[in-house]
Amino acid sequence: MRKITVIGTGYVGLVSGACFSEIGNRVICCDVDENKINRLRRGEIPIYEPGLQELVERNAKAERLYFTTEVGEAIESSDIIYIAVGTPMSETGEADMRYVMSAAKKIGEHLNGHKIIVNKSTVPVGTGELVREVIQANKKVPWTRFDVVSNPEFLREGSAIADCMSMDRAIIGSDNQEAADVIAELHAPFKTRIFFTDLESAEMIKYAANTFLATKISFINAIANICERVGANVADVSAGMGLDSRIGSKFLQAGIGYGGSCFPKDTYALAHISDKAGYDFELLKSVIRTNQKQRYIVMDKLREAVGGLAGKQVAVLGLAFKPETDDMRYAPSLTIVPELLKQGASVRAYDPIASDSAKRELPSGVHYYERLEQAVNGADVCVILTEWQSVVSMDLALIRSLMKHPVIIDGRNCFDLQVMERFGFEYHSVGRPPVNMAERDRQSVNL
């Protein structure tokens, strides 16, 4: 059993701390946010993640998982200290390192014996050395030893528990092999592959991995836009590409672009890192621009389908940036919904989990519904922004009967074209031919 302190009870810190306690370690999750810690002590989970509630309750009851605002005491009572604080994007695009530096200073002030300091936060290359300098400058006893390790996280929101308990790899960067071996041993119960490297390479691996995945998404979205112009079907194109083992099928689903807490922040951060290093990363900057433009494709399809939006009832299905989370960070809905309101549409929104989060982020004037059927009832057009299971499995016959006009703009390519044609929807997706456009044209002529 290891004594671990995790500084930061956000998404990464809370999930990681709970999983480390699940495999038998004593874990203290600490945060300066007293309200958040009090909620966690009461068993209230501040984020939505499937399975996390049960995991926290089980390990807190077993007295393996604790929550505190006394960060100094938590540091002093543990052998391994994880820094898992936020590194939000600043106005310049670089990672905001204030919370990481504050945690490092606190560690230095309470360093009472040899400890291994692990950077779990996504941080720019060189942060490991910077953390070392801050701790060294603030420690009370000059000869107290410590080691710094980089162990970046690769958790996906919505499947974070599985990603941690059955992780496919652990990257461990350090200039001290003994410290790296301790962190490797900590991961042994996860039965994962271990890759050892230096601090700087571990920090770069995190950014390189996320920006490469973002590149795949922007690439297939660009291909989708071409497919629409030449009559090809991007679903078939991506499936054919994915058969090539050098490419693979993951992250080749066309849609309205990436969002969330990682890809937008990490792409901007790496672009800033490359500029600072004197390299113009034109490819990555194009990825960012492509993603920004992609969500406006939905607005173009809306205007084409229904003409002016003023006075139209628009059902928006899905507000979170992806299913199985209430995270609204960089969600396409943050672009689409305000634009709909600006153009005079009445927005009828449905999300099974993220409505409360959305109310804090979206403008007033949005009508929220607890049931999907309520949102689409009487709608002139329906827009799909998140592929929740309740959305992809909705009763199409019922939905068609409830809508004023059976028009769906699908930003996530949830439905088979032949199915939508059979149910009589005018259906516009991304990178695929539209369905039942001829029927609308005939109706216009008859009118």
Given this model, what pLDDT does residue 49 score? 92
From 30, 227, 262, 414, the catalytic residue: 262
CA distance 115 to 109: 13
Domains in the chain, ordered, with CATH?
Answer: 3-197 (3.40.50.720), 206-293 (1.10.1040.10), 296-446 (3.40.50.720)
C-alpha dist (Å) from residue 279 to 208, 282, 290:
15, 9, 20
Give the relative orientation of helices 127-138 and 199-230 as an angle to the nearest 10 degrees: 140
d(Cα 31, Cα 4) in Å, to the nearest integer? 14
Specify the pTM. Answer: 0.92
Report how far residue 171's alpha carbon sits from residue 153's, in angstroms, rounded to the nearest whole number: 8
Residue 383 has which token pair?
């827009």
Torsion sign across C-alpha atoms 114, 120, 121, 122: positive
262 included as an active-site residue: yes
- Give the pLDDT score at 439: 57
For residue 441, the tally of other CB atoms under 10 A from its CB is 10
The C-alpha atoms of residue 205 and residue 309 are separated, in whole angstroms, by 45
Q: How far apart are CA 164 and CA 302, in angstroms?
A: 40
Surface-to-core class of residue 344, CB atoms within 10 Å of its CB (0-12 exposed, 13-18 middle, 19+ buried): exposed
Q: Which of 414, 145, 83, 372 is nearest to 256 (CA)?
A: 414
Contact 233, 267 (CB under 8 A): no
Task: Quote the pLDDT of residue 438.
Answer: 60
Task: Please list, residue by residue across 102-127, b when 16 or more beta carbons sit within 10 angstroms of its beta carbon and e when fewer do.
Answer: bbbebbbebbeeebbbbbbbbbbbeb
- How high is the pLDDT of residue 94? 87
In the DSSP assignment, the letter for residue 25 is -
Instruction: Specify which residues 195 forms β-bridges with.
Output: 171
Question: 149: Cβ–Cβ under 8 A, 6 or more apart, which residues?
Answer: 116, 117, 118, 119, 128, 172, 173, 174, 179, 180, 183, 199
Burial class (CB in 10 A: 0-12, 13-18, 19+), 396: middle
pLDDT of residue 442: 44
Report d(CA 417, CA 292) in Å as an integer.
26
Sign of the alpha-carbon dihedral angle for 345, 441, 225, 232? positive
CB 12 within 8 A of CB 18: no
pLDDT of residue 91: 82
**Residue 357, pLDDT score:** 95
- pLDDT tens track of the chain, all 447 residues? 899 999 999 999 999 999 999 999 999 999 999 999 999 999 999 989 999 999 999 999 999 999 999 999 999 999 999 999 999 888 888 889 999 999 999 999 999 999 999 999 999 999 999 999 999 999 988 889 999 999 999 998 899 999 999 999 999 999 999 999 999 999 999 999 999 999 999 999 999 999 999 999 999 999 999 999 999 999 999 999 999 999 999 999 999 999 998 899 999 999 999 999 999 999 999 999 999 999 999 999 999 999 889 999 999 999 999 999 999 999 999 999 999 999 999 999 999 999 999 999 999 999 999 999 999 999 999 999 999 999 999 999 999 999 999 999 999 999 999 999 999 999 999 999 999 876 555 454 333
